[in-house]
Structure 1
Amino acid sequence: MLVDYQKVNIYQDERLILKDVDLQVNEGEFIYIIGKVGSGKSSLLKTMYCELDIDREDAKKASILDVDITDLKRSHVPELRKQMGIIFQDFQLLHDRTVALNLKFVLGATGWTDREKINRRIEEVLARVGMLEKKDKMPSELSGGEQQRIAIARALLNNPKVIIADEPTGNLDPETATSIVQLLQDTCKNNTTVIMSTHNIQMIEKFPGTTYKCVNGMFKRENEEEIKAEAKSEIIETTAEVIKAESEEVEAENRIAEAEEA
């Protein structure tokens, strides 16, 4: 089992944000974690890659890749992270070097030394995400979607057992977001587990997986009917926001026209 959380309490700055989290994840699963901003999604993911600690007294069990993370020394965290791929909403690429050198930096930091193997691996992962022709570009020369593809390539470098993606489509337009989730789904088909937080319920309908929700300090599994209801609510809210924005734009144009006539 890749993730085994039993009765885990998660704190942020000594404030309990999720209580009694139960989560078991196996190889090849695609897991969505949904919830509003501040509900605990990111904090939960941070515990998985040991950015946020779980104390022994706050969990019946908390293991990642068969490692008890309640008793893990900080010096052993890098070794555990080598088996993971981590993707962030803001990409976190190094902007002072090319795409290829971004990936080379990660390989060097994780123990790769053979230049030929390093170059071959970089080309393999870039080809896999459809970005091989961009290897000599600087991050600033890439679109948001392209940068996120590079971030996914970076996450794949060490053949991770699990990819943890924190709102990977949050800053992307709908079409680009769809292509990113499709890429993650394809990765999952190669038996790499994906755990992804998102606020995009409609995306979950398009690319099904196992869905959990952070709400009111609790962590619960969502069924298909609940997801459909939330997707419908999301569409209604989005439509209302568009109508409001269009109405405000018309009002502003009318005020400008009245001012010009006066």
Structure 2
Amino acid sequence: MENVFFEGPVLWSQIDANMHLRHSAYADFAAQARLGLLEHAGFSMQVISPLKLGPILFREELIYLREIVVNDQVRVTAEMTRCRPDGSRWSFRQEIYRQDGVKAAIINVDGAWIDLEKRKLGSLPENLAKAFLSRIPKSTDFVFDEPKKTDSSMNLEDKFQQAQADSKTLSERPDNDTLLSLYALFKQGSTGDAPEEGPSNPFDIVGKAKHEAWKKLKGMPSREAREKYIALVEKLKSEA
């Protein structure tokens, strides 16, 4: 198994009511592996922080394959699947394996760099961008993602991603109804219609509320959802 950047035990605190690894723990393991990958490639927080840059995610997709239970040992891989030539936008595929070698989950993430002072999307200096592209392990299906600035749909994509970054840095936390609207518009704009069935865990009240909010947007075109998401974030920024 190649490109393993995290290995550790499943703790009791990470187990849900159904006695298997809770949803957020998968994301935590993947995040730790990405940090390990950056450290391995020479992009530790000590290197990145002076540049006033930080990694930020736009999308995180979890695909569950097999159950993970308490006291399992997990290993998490990370490989780059897409990247812009300047290193400003990137995608990773991560796989979580149990101690018996069985692949338990696949996690796909899309992200970029954020300027921590301007609170806008940023990019690495040219020398570090080249190092980022050369040192990060790449998948066998890796492709360069060339931005198409003349395409209006790509302009909307840029605004959508900037709005996602801005939503994470609002000076005031929106009320619950607004948070549900943000979630629903984001999911509709990035994924499409919600699945009919919501979370299976009867105690996941927040998850069920988010799923219901998303379902109410069924049939809304992704472009319209993105435009409404951008407008809502701009409104929240102006009110802060």
Q: Whose helix proportion is higher, 1 or 2?
A: 1
Q: Which has the higher contact order (CA 8 A, sep 6+)?
A: 1
Q: TM-score by structure 2 length?
A: 0.32
| TM-score (normalizing by structure 1) | 0.30
